[in-house]
Structure 1
Amino acid sequence: MKNRERYQEWQGQLDRIPYAQHLNLTAELHQQMPCVFMPFEERLVGNMLLPAIHGGAIGALMEITAIVACSATTNAMRMPKLIDSTSDYLRSSKTENTWASAELIRQGRRVMAVRTTAWQSNRDRPVATGRMHLLTQLT
């Protein structure tokens, strides 16, 4: 599947997730790879003193990115279910737009392992990374 087709599939999956709509998430091609874009909004600020985007918004962005990547890969009728998630917050996020990408690490019959990365102005300086396991075969 070509990257443009993957991008369109990702947008279709995002449209099925109400919280993704609440965060105004959209699929984009970033350096020819599909990713999820979260536009900056004042309501996302968690620490007004820094100011910085709330870690929960960054975590949700990474989890939704993992779900969308798995769902687009498996073409399942149902959304994958998150089994566990570990997030590493590497630096304070600024009041800027944020992107996230997902890398499928392992795909089993029922479980997928995914690594996610969230960044702002520079992809080489991520604000957070995550590791997630998702149940893909729902009975």
Structure 2
Amino acid sequence: MPVSATGPYDQGNIFAKILRGEIPCNKVFEDDFALAFHDIAPQAPVHVLVIPKGPYVSWADFSATATDAEIGGFVRAVGQVARDLGLEEPGYRLLANTGVHGNQVVPHLHVHIFGGRQFGAMLS
């Protein structure tokens, strides 16, 4: 069920549990600012999630309250993961669902990286 992008951070969400090591993930990248892992229900040949290590619900929350180092580190991590996966050529898609209208399901900021095939138009 979609969640509010302005609600409080839920320490019991699945990504918080992954960050604490309570739930395993198929990790592809980790540094001080971000963790990236394969999606458990991939929607493309390559489907990786990148999450910040801090407790941020959405882009609005993250951009308003994260430190400059956290923001820079997270953005660099997304780019590094795409490079590490060999997706720069021929390309890839980034997606961040935010709030109810964006169909955000987990109340922890995350970016989907999709690759490995040609994608159609973003919206019909």
TM-score of the superposed pair, with normalisation by structure 2:
0.34
Higher strand share: 1
Taking CA–CA contacts closer than 8 Å with sequence separation of 6 or more, which of the two structures ends up with the larger relative contact order? 2
Higher helix share: 1
